[in-house]
Amino acid sequence: MKEKRKSKSGRNPKLDPAVYRYTVRFNEEEHNRFLAMFGKSGVYARSVFLKAHFFGQPFKVLKVDKTLVDYYTKLSDFHAQFRAVGTNYNQVVKELRLHFSEKKAMALLYQLEQHTVELVKLSRRIVELSREMEAKWSQKSV
């Protein structure tokens, strides 16, 4: 006779499943304190937070600096605009060469070169500011 084989579908069982469950009740003040601590911890589940806190395991408190997030968002936007300027720069030079006389094209290219120098100075200043921001951030976190 044929023996019945177990189906291989589904998840593999855990070696040490957590089957014991406890209930904790908080009053309003305790609940608010718990939620504040849980929110600062950055842990994905309340049960994981409680187990870690109860057994004395260390957990990290993540603080998000809104100004830093805004700075990096604006810096990313600026980078995208900077790339667009580079693309437009190439197109302008190509059009100048095709549609203008050599003398007129040289005059316009000179103006374009002056604006490019200003843009390079601005980008260097942005890099300096980013390094200063990074240095401030690393000093804050220590």
Q: What is the pLDDT of residues 11-24, one digit of tens each?
A: 888 898 888 888 88
pTM, two decimal places: 0.44
Q: What is the pLDDT of residues 30-76, one digit of tens each?
A: 999 888 888 888 788 888 888 888 887 776 666 667 777 788 788 88
Q: Which long-range contacts (CB under 8 A, 24 or more apart) does 88-91 make?
A: 89/116
Residues in Cβ contact with 75 at an 8 Å cutoff, skipping those fewer than 6 apart: 126, 130
- What is the arithmetic mean of pLDDT over 90-119? 86
pLDDT band at 27 (very low <50, low <70, confident <90, very high): very high
Residues in Cβ contact with 116 at an 8 Å cutoff, skipping those fewer than 6 apart: 89
- In angstroms, the Cα distances linking 86 to 7, 74, 83 are 60, 18, 5
